Structures are given as structure tokens and as C-alpha cells.
Amino acid sequence: MSIVILKSAPGLPAAAQGDASDVVQLMLARLKLEGEAAARHYAARLDGWTGEIVVTPDEVARACEQVPEELKTQIRYAHDNIRRFAEAQRASALDFQTELRPGLIAGQKQIPLSAAGAYVPGGRYAHIASALMTITTARAAGVPQITAVSPPQAGRGIHPAILYAMSLAGADRILALGGVQGVAALAFGLFGAPPADILVGPGNQFVAEAKRQLFGPVGIDMFAGPTDSLVIADATADPLTVAWDLVGQAEHGYNSPVWLVTDDRRLADAVLAHIPACVADLPEPNRSSAQAAWDALGEVILCADREEMAATADRYAPEHLHVQAADLGWWRSRLSAYGSLFLGELTTVAFGDKASGPNHVLPTSGAARYTGGLSVHKFLKTVTWQQVEPQALPDLARATAAISRAEGMEGHARTADIRLDKLRPALRQVGNG
């Protein structure tokens, strides 16, 4: 049986607005030239924010008092899971040394970056979890200076729950800035912050484009597009649960693809039947976002067997891959292209998005074919070192000189020769002895 598309994705209509790259390029040029004055200008024009940019500890404390205690409890629960997972990752990144040959010693060392910049979205939704995912992970990696930015709301500032999460996660500085100006403040070191070595965190197309253009002198976690999610389900899955898992991820926005891959036609038909009611049950604006995403980008794919299902999932390389099928061990072993894997009906993607522990900043748009998501490793430099003792030098110098001369690099060869020449008297003396 060949793959059958039971619901196809017609795709999004042609974009009404121009390419974001030109807009971002002009903004970054002005921000680099004018610095804080340009950042204030864009904050006022784009976010309606004319208040202070640097959020003081007293302001953070007042904002935290506005957060309900029950929500604080749940944020602390999520932070503890994220911190524990990140600390376990850090423990897996080891320094080592090895003696490759007698007298030839080499090793690696893990060095935390000096400064990180975390972008926390705060537009239509208050992205509490993003603050936890980015700042907590940088702190667990050992980064000594962490600056966080988030878009302020006119007349209100940064959402109080975001400020609470930023403070709990360990941000050293918090700036009330969003969009390109927020990213630029992190990269250029504005408002008293050190210039970031790496920029992390999700954002809209302008934030993503700013990170892309700044990449090089500054590191980035990844160039991320709209979030996407794929569910693998067989006859053992519950159709209503699958339908809600698809709709729950589609509510991210009109441009968020969701896909169902199954080998059971009855399950597929039942899921398709449930989707309209699930979408209709959402409040606005979530309902419109989910409907637009499902209509334009939702797909239901019928496969012959589980191997074809797995191969299909690997081709899509989704950001989130949720398996609701029998024999979870087989799927965990077989699947190879995803940002994060969610195994079993109980393990909804929303758990990973918010509170379970592994990071939710993940590769999108098929990038999971070649990279993983945000982790402590993004905040570490794995550097190497080497040391040569006399007993290793003769063979190493001869090999280096021979290869260098074959490449036409005489200067390289001579740096090896001079060391061998210096050692030869000692070698002859040992031989005579």
C-alpha cells in the first residue's frame, strides 16, 4: 500500500507583507549606530512603551506580589523539573584527557560562555515557560551573566508572571524591550548589560530574522520558524485525545503545521470527525488560530504499517513528535529525526512545552534532521588542549613535516623540524648510554 493523504495541506496564502529581512536590516543598523536612543524610539513606536527599560529589583518584587500563590507554586514545580534536567545534562558534559601515544596527551574542557541573552515572547500569550527554559538552562550551564528581555505592554510593562519566572530562573538583568530592539540590546550590550555571547529564545519572524542577521559575531540557539507537531497513532490510540493533541498545538498560530500519521483508517476518520468540535470549543483568539492552521497546514497521512509511519515521520522531522501507539520501545529505538519525542498517550506535548523538564526551544521546519534543541551544551564551549613530551616528539614531528611539505606549507614543516633538531642530541646521548 502506498501512502494516502486523507487530508492535504493547501498551504498559506501569499504573504501580504514584504520580506522582514529588509526591515530588520535597517533597524539593526540604526540600533548599532544610535544604541539606547534607538531602542527607546522603537519601544515607544512599536510597543507603546515610554517607561524605564531596566526593570529594577523593587519592580520585580512588586510584580511578583501580583502573581497568585497557586500559579507561583506551579511555576516553581516547572522550574524545578527544568533545572534538574539541565543539571543532569551539565553533568554529562565532561572534561577529559587521554594519552594517545606515550608522551602525546590531549584533552577537552567545557567552558561556560561569559554572557547569554534570553528573549522571552510576551505578545498575545504570556510565555512564562520560555523564561524558565532559557534562563534556567543558561544558569545550569554555569553562565555568569544572563540578561533577559521581554516585550512590555503599554502602561503595564512586562507581564508579572513572566517577571516572576525570570527572577526565579536567575536572570541577572531584565530589560523591558521586545522585538528587534530587544534582540539588539542583548547583542550590543545596551542598558548596562554585557554584550551577549549567545542569543536564545523563540520569537516572531522579526525576532528570528534579527537573530539570523546577528549570527556570526554572536551565537544563536537556532533559526526557528513556526512551531510544528506530528502525532503517530495506531489502532490503540483514542481518537478524541489525538484530535485534541493536534488542535492544542495548532492554537499556536495560523502558520503552525500539525500532522497525523497513522496506519488505521478508522482512527483517521474518527480524528477528522472530532477536529471541528475541538476547534469550536476553544475561546478566541485561539479558535481562529487553530482553525486557520488546521485548514491550511493540517495533514492526515495513512500508511501501510509502522515502518512506513516511522519513515514518514523521519522525512517530516517535526519539532514535536508524539507517539500514541503500541510497543513504545520500538518507536524510541527506530525514530531518528525530531526535536523532542513524546512517548505514550499520557505524555502530551503540552507537558514538554510547559513543565516536564526537557527544553521546549526546539528545531522547526525540518531542522531536526541535523540539530537538536536548546540545552546546556549551547551555553558551553567544548575546547581541546594538547601537550607533547619528548618520547612522542620524533614520530609526531616527522609526520607533521612530511604532511606539511606535501601540502606545500614549508613554514609548518620547519616548526616541526626545529623541535626535532633540538631533541636529537638528547636522543643520541640516550642511545650512546
Q: Which residues have a catalytic role annotated?
A: 319-320
Q: How many angstroms separate the first and last alpha carbons of the chain?
A: 79
Candidates 162, 164, 201, 163; CA nearest to 182 is 201
The answer to whether 385 and 107 are in contact (CB under 8 A) is yes
Alpha-carbon span 220 to 373, nearest angstrom: 12
Residue with cell 549570527: 215
Candidates 254, 290, 257, 289; CA nearest to 365 is 257
3-state percent breakdown (helix, strand, coil) of the chain, nearest 5? 50, 20, 35
Residues 6 or more apart in contact with residue 393 via CB below 8 angstroms: 103, 419, 420, 423
3-state secondary structure 207-257: HHHHHHHHECCEEECCCCCCCCEEEEECCCCCHHHHHHHHHHHHCCCCCCC
For 126-137, b where at least 16 C-beta lie within 10 A, e where not — what string?
bbbbbbbbbbbb
Alpha-carbon span 316 to 432, nearest angstrom: 68
DSSP structural state of residue 13: P
The answer to whether 392 and 427 are in contact (CB under 8 A) is no
Residue with cell 489502532: 235
**Sheet of 380-388, strand order:** 96-101, 104-112, 380-388
| Pairing of the two strands 219-220 and 198-200 | parallel
Candidates 356, 360, 364; CA nearest to 337 is 364
R_g of the chain, CA atoms, integer Å? 26
